Chains A and B, each alone.
Chain A
């Protein structure tokens, strides 16, 4: 069973992408693949699994799909409802080349772009991507995003209906649009990762399944479009962040800051892969925000101890990042890096300048970062006030615990 589940996860996206192209229907494709997995469960148990389980499943699912299409066609002439218009999708033809189905091209790229089409809401994009490309069940997605299952099911139904009725194409976008569309694809994948990495509410800070799924999707994107440096940058960033997972929360379920983490818990394999990907991406000489964030994470990853961190390089990378993003959060991180490189006073001055802009007044990390610098400067009363503001702004239990721990430190040690 474990083996079948593994095959299911690995093959789901690729097979369903082909079935959708053949049938023009998300629902029919899903049903056919579901049936094929049911057959696999009973058959593989008895006869052992085939040499190429993916090809086996594709063939069986395709056959199930043909059966369903034939049934449907004989029932009524509902073909128009089932398939995309011929101009948008190759019309369904009785495949004489049935055996060739295992040679079908990889249709996952079409699927990614359709799932992340800008005419769908971001929530629908995320749900559809996890459901179709990731093969997660509606229940799993609902749990991961802490929404009622019925709500999520409804979201998926609406999204699939819009794809069909509004004529969202099942194809790779034209050259003049692909860059924009890729931005959305990467945003969806990174959002899935972040939802897993820092749950926006609830008890557990990290929901590992979502992180693993986002990394898997990131790998698919790199496999399909390897010359796009930002795709590599995104995968690198996720791997490098994920490499710190074990060290990020202690046994008491409390958040551990980067400088306090036990670096021996970091995942060396993920770091190595991430660092290599960053280097490969930067060699393509089209720098972007994911690459820069990954490069910053790589500098941290390569420091054997917190006090060996190359803060000057991190400051320089943040300055580059500020040139292309102008996000106040990036500016905040830049200020924190300056504090490490040039002293807390300089960092605090930058943070206060950002605060004067007003954009981050309701962002808990703004106050937490400010509080940390005030604590290091032994300005205790101000630090306590800032920690308290931060505490009032986060609903995440783990983050709250961290701030309470800081507040409890009556005579805070000067860490650096």
Chain B
């Protein structure tokens, strides 16, 4: 099965850490990514630019509305994602638990819709 791991974190605290700490976290990310790639479980993934760069698009009554950022003021922001292949939810959550941001933020694990049957379920 394919799972999307959506990484939410608190941007201000991420910005507040030292450069050395940041490099340590990046190192952990690279290690996890390499390990998953080796096992054929890494599909894609990336860090995202901060929420201040976000733009929302809505089409209402045929009219395109482009605005700054998402409206909702939430405590944690989407900061990156992994798309992985895992045998089941337990394997996916075990991988999610190894993402460094899981220690300070939240990793949301979502299965992808993979078959036509599921899409209509």
Interface residues of A (CB under 8 A from B): 78, 80-81, 84-85, 87-88, 117, 119, 161, 165-169, 173-174, 177
Contacts and interface: CB of A to CB of B under 8 A. Distances in A.
Interface residues of B, number: 15
B115 interface: yes
Contact of A81 (B86, B87, B88, B121): B121
B5 to A, nearest CB: 13
B90 A177 contact: yes
Nearest to B93: A119
Query: SS class of chain B's interface: helix, strand, loop or mixed?
Result: mixed
30 contacts: A78-B117, A80-B115, A80-B117, A81-B115, A81-B117, A81-B118, A84-B88, A85-B1, A85-B87, A87-B88, A88-B1, A88-B87, A88-B88, A117-B89, A119-B89, A165-B118, A165-B121, A166-B89, A166-B109, A167-B1, A167-B87, A167-B88, A167-B92, A167-B111, A168-B88, A168-B89, A169-B88, A169-B89, A169-B90, A174-B90
A87 B117 CA distance: 19
B97 to A, nearest CB: 11
Nearest to A177: B90
A241 to B, nearest CB: 34
Contacts of A87: 87-88
Interface string B13-43: 0000000000000000000000000000000
Interface of B: 1, 3, 86-90, 92-93, 109, 111, 115, 117-118, 121
Query: SS class of chain A's interface: helix, strand, loop or mixed?
Result: loop
Contact of B89 (A78, A80, A167): A167
B90 to A, nearest CB: 5
Nearest to B87: A87
A345 B90 CA distance: 52
Nearest to A174: B90
A119 B115 CA distance: 22
Contacts of B117: 78, 80-81
Contacts of B87: 85, 87-88, 167, 169
